Amino acid sequence: MEKLTNKFKHLYQVISSARFLSKEALGGEIPFFIAAYNAQHELAVADGIKRLVKKLESSGVPVLEINLYDVVCDILDDEIGLEEFFSIEEDMDKEEFLDAIQSVLEIHQVLMPKINSLIQNTNAKVYFLTGIGLVFPYIRSHNILNNLQSIAKDCPTVAFFPGEYNGHSLNLFSLLKDDNYYRAFNIDKIEVKQ
């Protein structure tokens, strides 16, 4: 757990820096960062994110947390109603259910517009993308990141990823290789400049 504590100290130092918030030294790249972590520490990381948000906000850095699980639940509740959706799940096999949920959460017409509305209604200086592991397999992280590029370009975005990121590919839960994703920086590798 000491390693996790040090990770969150590092995250605070990087994210609260003027250099990070002004998107300096990105070489024309989009301001996307991956904060990978061991999926076995999901609960501790969720708690750490809450504390990090509070600490950043008390330092004058407002944060918009885009929790994909919460976004999905809101969409499903608005479209179908969660109770109705749970009863539908009982009557379908896994493949049918996966197809049904993916059609309700269509990325271009439903999911990204919902995320865009969250972004448009905030004064945040940084966006946190969380809940990535909770929405697998019906939402894939590389799809979100690829589509988020066009709507989350004004502020740095930090995606908390349960797995590994080597700067080239995402490995969900350290077991499932996702499509390659080259456009994000590994935030653990960023040095804090005083």
Q: Is residue 106 part of a domain?
A: yes
**Whether 63 contacts 128, CB under 8 Å:** yes
Q: Is residue 4 part of a domain?
A: no
| Overall average pLDDT of the 103-113 stretch | 90
Look up residue 108 and give its DSSP letter.
Answer: I
Winning range, highest mean pLDDT, from 20-24, 100-104, 115-119, 136-140: 115-119
Q: Is residue 86 part of a domain?
A: yes
Q: Is residue 6 part of a domain?
A: no
Can you tell me the distance from the alpha carbon of 34 to that of 188, in angstroms, rounded to the nearest whole number? Answer: 8
Q: Is residue 36 part of a domain?
A: yes
| Overall average pLDDT of the 13-28 stretch | 85
Tens digits of per-residue pLDDT, 29-61? 789 999 999 999 999 999 999 999 999 999 999
C-alpha distances in Å from residue 98, one per residue of 92, 94, 139, 156, 192 = 9, 6, 10, 31, 42
What's the domain range around 61? Answer: 27-188
Can you tell me the distance from the alpha carbon of 13 to that of 18, in angstroms, rounded to the nearest whole number? Answer: 10
Threshold 0.75, pTM exceeds: yes
Asked whether the predicted pLDDT for residue 67 surpasses 70, the reply is yes
Looking at the structure of the chain, the number of domains it has is 1
| pLDDT above 70 as % of the chain | 92
For residue 194, what pLDDT is reported?
54
